[in-house]
Chain A
Amino acid sequence: MTPPSQPPPSFAISAEPLQPEALKQQLLDGHAGALATFEGWVRNHNEGQAVERLEYSSYPALANKEGQRILAEAFQKFAIDAAIAQHRVGLLEIGGIAVWVGVSAAHRGAAFDACRYIIEEIKGRVPIWKKEYYSDGATDWVNCHQET
């Protein structure tokens, strides 16, 4: 069977809570035999400090561009049918979904590999920043420790 016509790469930055079930529905396809998804959750600790909440912000013009590039790369590298990635911005509470990635493919290997590729590249390349609010009232921009 020939794969379905390839959908356009679908990356988005969202100020509203992500909707995994609705996103999953968009990936359903008769050609696909596998769906791999990844959810990044807000956890209540980082590097030994108790975290109360997180704030994500982005550089929207470039974040969208780079996110679409990453999804396009995944289509080039892996035999997948469809892929969606969304990242939250704004204030998130513990347990909230910060990022969602879903990939459908004929076979599980490509779905797992592409899902992993997409989340790792998003973490490393897309201009999104995370500010942590700690229980003791302090805040910190993650990865921006003063290096001078």
Chain B
Amino acid sequence: MPKKLTIQYFALLREQRGLDQETVQSDAATAASLYADLAQEHGFTLPTTALKVALNDDFADWQSPLSDGDTVVFIPPVAGG
């Protein structure tokens, strides 16, 4: 059964998606496969090797299983300081 996921976008990904946030219905089992689907659909240029991922506002493993209602954030390379 598809899961309802909220995706928040920041920085370069926000520009490439043209949205701050969206809710999607997805069959993706993991964050990695969700990103692969979205990258293909929207032409994201960053590979997963350059990104980190957060689930429900904390860092998570790319292979963590996604649950219905999760908030997902793909984190581009940081550049604070």
Interface residues of A (CB under 8 A from B): 40, 56-59, 61-62, 65-66, 87, 98-99, 119, 122-131, 141-144, 146-148
Contact = CB atoms under 8 A, between A and B. Distances in A.
Contacts of A148: 45-47
A57 B10 contact: yes
A132 B46 CA distance: 18
B73 interface: yes
Interface stretch (B24-32, B52-60, B62-70): B52-60
A123 B73 contact: no
B12 A123 contact: no
A59 B79 CA distance: 12
Contacts of B6: none
Given A59-B54, A62-B57, A65-B58, A144 B80 contact: no
A102 to B, nearest CB: 15
B81 A59 contact: no
Contacts of A59: 8, 10, 54, 73, 75
A144 B81 contact: no
Contacts of A128: 78-81
Interface in B1-49: 8, 10-12, 15, 45-47, 49
Contacts of B59: 62, 66
Contacts of B58: 62, 65
Contacts of A125: 78
Contact of B80 (A65, A126, A141): A126
A143 B79 contact: yes
B81 A122 contact: yes
B81 A98 contact: yes
A87 to B, nearest CB: 6
Contacts of A65: 57-58
B6 to A, nearest CB: 13
A142 B79 CA distance: 6
Contacts of B79: 123, 128-130, 141-144
Contacts of A124: 78
Given A123-B80, A143-B79, A131 B47 contact: no
